[in-house]
């Protein structure tokens, strides 16, 4: 595979990972996390049901092992292939014991299913990236190592996704799911930087390098606090319903106010970094992405607070945070290839 095709494959992987992050955020915003209460299938189907009646028990019907129905507000799973008689027979069914969630909403089910499809597609492209990196291992053993780590990370994400469903959306596991996604993004950005690199690494003044690291650390802290706020919102969403979004921020914890105010510090440090690089004639278009992301983060955050979480505001907010993390990490890697003016 030539360098141009390889770069496109890396870019495709990045785009798909960001789409998975967006889809995951949309799942959380709409409360669709349990739209498919089992894993990897959805109500025991490869293609999810579109009507509640598909999950009702039916007489004289050919059931397949693993298929799921809802009986008396509980999930029941087929033990083995059989054809039902004229009455429901408990001998052919077993209770679904991993959780007691047994509700069907066609919109939630398909939102969650699309989220899983995107995850599967992203996993497939990481395998293609691993294969391409293996073919180019003589050119870069580091890229091959990063590709292996990405595939391992995606496998861990798939397992973690299963445990998230089995735990009935335990907030801590959802946050860990997001943290792992950012780590995968960092590995992909590392490969992207290496295929873009045209100059040999050089030493950068400690002042610039330290300032860049500080900006990345502050953004990471901000994202970390954001996940804690997101956990609080998840709890509020379960306490209230989706139609009472105006009450989700009642009795907000201290971390919410820290997260809101900390954005100004993140903005200030990045503005100062941009000014210093510009002053020293180090022009970097990536800085425009960083400033745009921070500006949009503040706008979407403000919209969620004052306008009761408008549709898509949470996914946009989360994806922008991931893009901000990626661009800051990329500019940090770039610092090692910029020849500093003496």
What pLDDT is recorded for position 18? 93
SS (H, E, C) the chain: CCHHHHHHHHHHHHHHHHHHHHHHHHHHHHCCCCCCCCCCCECCECCCCCCHHHHCCCCCCEECCCCEEEECCEEEEECCCEECCCCCCHHHEEECCCCCCCCCCHHHHHHHHHHHHHHHHHHHHHHHHHHHHHHCCCCCHHHHHHHHHHHHHHHHHHHHHHHHHHCCCCHHHHHHHHHHHHHHHHHHHHHHHHHHCCCCCCCCCHHHHHHHHHHHHHHHHHHHHHHHHHHHHHHHHHHCCHHHHHHCCCCCCHHHHHHHHHHHHHHHHHHHHHHHHHHCCCCCCHHHHHHHHHHHHHHHHHHHHHCCCCCCHHHHHHHHHHHHHHHHHHHHHHCCCCCCCC
pLDDT in tens, the chain (342 residues): 788 899 999 999 999 999 998 888 888 778 787 888 888 888 888 899 999 999 999 999 999 998 999 998 889 999 999 999 999 999 999 998 877 778 888 999 999 999 999 999 999 999 999 999 999 988 889 999 999 999 999 999 888 877 766 665 566 676 787 788 899 999 999 999 988 865 444 444 566 778 888 999 999 899 888 888 887 887 787 777 767 777 888 888 898 999 989 989 999 998 888 888 777 766 677 778 888 888 899 899 888 888 888 878 888 998 999 999 999 999 888 876 654 433
């Amino acid at each position: 595979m030539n360098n141009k095709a390889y770069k496109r494959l890396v870019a495709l992987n990045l785009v798909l990972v960001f789409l998975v992050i967006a889809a995951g955020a949309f799942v959380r915003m709409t409360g669709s996390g349990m739209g498919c209460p089992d894993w990897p299938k959805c109500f025991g189907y490869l293609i999810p049901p579109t009507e509640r009646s598909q999950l009702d028990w039916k007489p004289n019907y050919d059931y397949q092992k693993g298929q799921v129905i809802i009986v008396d507000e509980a999930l029941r799973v087929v033990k083995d292939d059989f054809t039902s008689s004229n009455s429901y027979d408990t001998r052919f069914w077993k209770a679904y014991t991993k959780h007691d969630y047994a509700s069907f909403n066609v919109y939630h089910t398909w939102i969650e299913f699309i989220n899983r499809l995107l995850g599967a597609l992203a996993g497939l492209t990481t395998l293609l990236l691993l294969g391409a990196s293996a073919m180019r291992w003589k050119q870069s053993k580091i890229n091959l190592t990063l590709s292996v780590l990405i595939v391992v990370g995606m496998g861990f994400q798939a397992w973690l996704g299963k445990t998230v469903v089995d735990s009935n959306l335990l907030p801590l596991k959802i946050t860990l799911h997001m943290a792992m996604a950012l780590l995968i993004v960092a590995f992909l950005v590392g490969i992207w930087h290496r295929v873009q690199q045209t100059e040999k690494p050089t030493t950068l003044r400690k002042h610039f390098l330290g300032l860049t690291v500080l900006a990345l650390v502050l953004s990471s802290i901000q994202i970390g606090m954001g996940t804690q706020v997101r956990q609080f919102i998840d709890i509020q969403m379960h306490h209230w319903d989706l139609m009472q979004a105006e009450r989700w921020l009642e009795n907000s914890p201290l971390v919410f106010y820290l997260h809101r105010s900390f954005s100004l510090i993140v903005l200030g440090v990045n503005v100062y970094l941009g000014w210093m690089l510009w002053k020293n004639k180090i022009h970097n278009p990536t800085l425009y992405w960083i400033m745009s992301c921070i500006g949009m983060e503040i706008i979407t955050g403000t919209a969620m607070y004052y306008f009761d979480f408008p549709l898509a505001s949470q996914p946009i907010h989360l994806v922008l945070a991931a893009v901000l993390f990626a661009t800051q990490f990329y500019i940090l890697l770039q610092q090692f290839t910029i020849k500093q003016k003496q």
